[in-house]
């Protein structure tokens, strides 16, 4: 897998992930780029200065910003291990994605979830974007700092979370006002896909449906925007 972009590579360097090599474009002399190069040297990573033509040939996203790191494929967290880590944590907080297929949305959701202190994100093995180069870039490296677990069945996962003391909330229209809902304690918020929203059976599995009140003529938000509103409302209540 290739991690591209100045910020994404810098965040990668802060982790303990094995980095095979890093390509740095010649002529990167601005202060921020020098900071990344210094971090590469301090980490002891193998790196090489190359011409722009080589960077442009290697890039997957077309937005390398002069830095491309080569790492092993993304390693997903094990769901059972995720639960064990959260055992006894009274304010455990998870996000479940039900059919989010756009990697840009997944990257944005990982970014806002990590910023809001979410403990982990759960995605499906099917009907879901997977963590790839685009997700890494859009998340600005946040995907390296938050556990992402893949599961075969979202509904069965919700049942297991409820057995482990989680209250589950589907983020959809037609529910209770999110700002009047208690989002403290052990919770999981389910965010639906871009076109379909949360699956009907999944909504029925959840303890409640929560809704972001809106006053405009358009009554829906982008999945990542809606997720951002929800997780930061939960964070606000927990502060």
pLDDT digits (tens, 9 = 90+) for 7-62: 999 999 998 888 999 999 999 999 999 999 999 999 999 999 999 999 999 998 88
pLDDT level of residue 115 (50, 70, 90 thresholds): very high
Mean pLDDT of 114-127: 95
pLDDT value for 185: 97
Q: Is the same domain home to 47 and 98?
A: no
Last residue of a domain, one of 71, 94, 127: 71
Q: Which two tokens stand for residue 206?
A: 């959840």
Per the structure, the count of domains in the chain is 2
pLDDT level of residue 127 (50, 70, 90 thresholds): confident
Beta bridge partners of 211: 177
Q: What is the dihedral of CA 128, 225, 205, 181, to 10 degrees?
A: 160
Q: Which residues contact 103 (CB under 8 A, 6 or more apart)?
A: 129, 130, 132, 134, 135, 138
Q: Is the same domain home to 166 and 190?
A: yes
Beta bridge partners of 3: 69
| Contact between 124 and 150 (Cβ < 8 Å) | yes
Q: Is the same domain home to 165 and 214?
A: yes
Percent of the chain exceeding pLDDT 70 equals: 100
Range of the domain at 150: 79-238
Q: Is the same domain home to 121 and 205?
A: yes
| Contact between 194 and 105 (Cβ < 8 Å) | yes
The Cα 140–Cα 110 span in angstroms is 9
Last residue of a domain, one of 17, 46, 71: 71
Q: What is the pLDDT of residues 70-100, one digit of tens each?
A: 998 888 999 999 999 999 999 999 999 999 9
Q: Is the same domain home to 39 and 96?
A: no
pLDDT value for 133: 87
pLDDT value for 211: 96
Q: Is the same domain home to 222 and 186?
A: yes
| Contact between 222 and 103 (Cβ < 8 Å) | no
Q: Which residues contact 123 (CB under 8 A, 6 or more apart)?
A: 96, 97, 100, 106, 129, 130, 148, 149, 150, 151
Q: Is the same domain home to 13 and 49?
A: yes
Query: 17: exposed, middle or buried (C-beta count within 10 Å: 0-12, 13-18, 19+)?
Result: middle
Q: Tell me the CATH number at 52.
A: 3.30.1330.30
Q: Is the same domain home to 47 and 90?
A: no
Q: Is the same domain home to 38 and 89?
A: no
Q: Is the same domain home to 173 and 103?
A: yes
Q: Is the same domain home to 135 and 228?
A: yes
Q: Which two tokens stand for residue 64?
A: 């390398």
The answer to which of 110-114, 193-197, 228-232 has the lowest mean pLDDT is 193-197
The Cα 98–Cα 196 span in angstroms is 9
Q: Tell me the CATH number at 130.
A: 3.40.1280.10
The Cα 158–Cα 168 span in angstroms is 7
Q: Is the same domain home to 100 and 214?
A: yes
Last residue of a domain, one of 42, 71, 100: 71
The Cα 43–Cα 163 span in angstroms is 42
């Amino acid at each position: 897998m290739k991690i591209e972009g100045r910020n994404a590579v810098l965040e990668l360097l802060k982790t303990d992930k094995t980095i095979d090599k890093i390509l740095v474009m010649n002529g990167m002399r601005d202060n921020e780029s020098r900071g990344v190069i210094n971090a590469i040297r301090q980490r002891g990573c193998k790196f090489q200065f190359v011409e722009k033509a080589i960077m442009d040939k290697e890039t997957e996203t077309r937005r390398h910003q002069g830095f491309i790191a080569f790492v092993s494929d993304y390693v997903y967290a094990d769901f059972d291990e995720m639960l064990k880590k959260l055992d006894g944590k009274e304010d455990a907080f998870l996000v479940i994605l039900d059919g989010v297929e756009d990697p840009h949305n997944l990257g944005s959701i990982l970014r806002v979830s990590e910023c809001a202190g979410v403990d982990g994100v759960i995605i499906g093995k099917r009907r879901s974007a997977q963590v790839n180069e685009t997700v890494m870039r859009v998340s600005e490296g946040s995907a390296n700092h938050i556990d992402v677990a893949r599961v075969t069945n979202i509904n069965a996962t919700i049942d297991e979370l409820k057995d482990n003391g989680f209250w589950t909330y589907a983020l959809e229209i037609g529910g209770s006002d999110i700002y009047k809902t208690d989002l403290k304690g052990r919770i999981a918020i389910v965010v639906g896909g871009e076109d379909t929203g949360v699956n009907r059976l999944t909504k029925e599995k959840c303890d409640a449906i929560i809704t972001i009140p809106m006053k405009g003529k358009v009554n829906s938000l982008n999945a990542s925007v809606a997720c951002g509103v929800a997780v930061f409302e939960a964070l606000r209540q927990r502060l």
